Amino acid sequence: MKKVIIIGATSGIGYEVAKGYLKLGWHVGVAGRRKEALEKFQSAAPDLVEIQELDVTKEDAPEKLHLLIDKLGGMDLFLLSSGVGSQNIALKADIEINTAKTNVGGFIRMVTAAFNYFREKGGGHLAVISSIAGTKGLGAAPAYSATKRFQNSYINALAQLSHMEKLNITFTDIRPGFVQTDLLKDGNYPLLMKPDHVAERIIRALKKKKRIAMIDNRYAILVFFWRMIPLWLWERMPVKSK
Phi then psi for residue 82, to 5 deg, are: -75, 140
Mean pLDDT of 40-45: 94
**Who has greater pLDDT, 12 or 155?**
155
Can you give the length of the chain in residues? 242
Cα–Cα dist 228/187, whole Å: 26
Judged against a pLDDT cut of 50, whether residue 242 lies above it is answered with no
For a pLDDT cut of 90, what percent of the chain falls above it?
69
pTM of full prediction above 0.75: yes
The CB-side HSE value for 223 (13 A sphere, CA atoms) comes to 20
| DSSP-based three-state secondary structure for 66 | helix
Instruction: Kindly report, residue by residue over 130-155, the tens digit of the pLDDT.
Output: 988 888 888 888 999 999 999 999 99
pLDDT of 72 above 60: yes
pLDDT given for residue 81 in this prediction = 94
> Residue 29 forms beta bridges with which residues?
5, 50
Mean pLDDT for 17-26 is 96
Q: How far apart are CA 167 and CA 95, in angstroms?
A: 38
Residue of 147, 14, 139 lying closest to 79 (CA atoms): 14
Asked if pLDDT for residue 185 goes beyond 60, the answer is no
The domains found in the chain, sorted by start residue, are 3-234 (3.40.50.720)
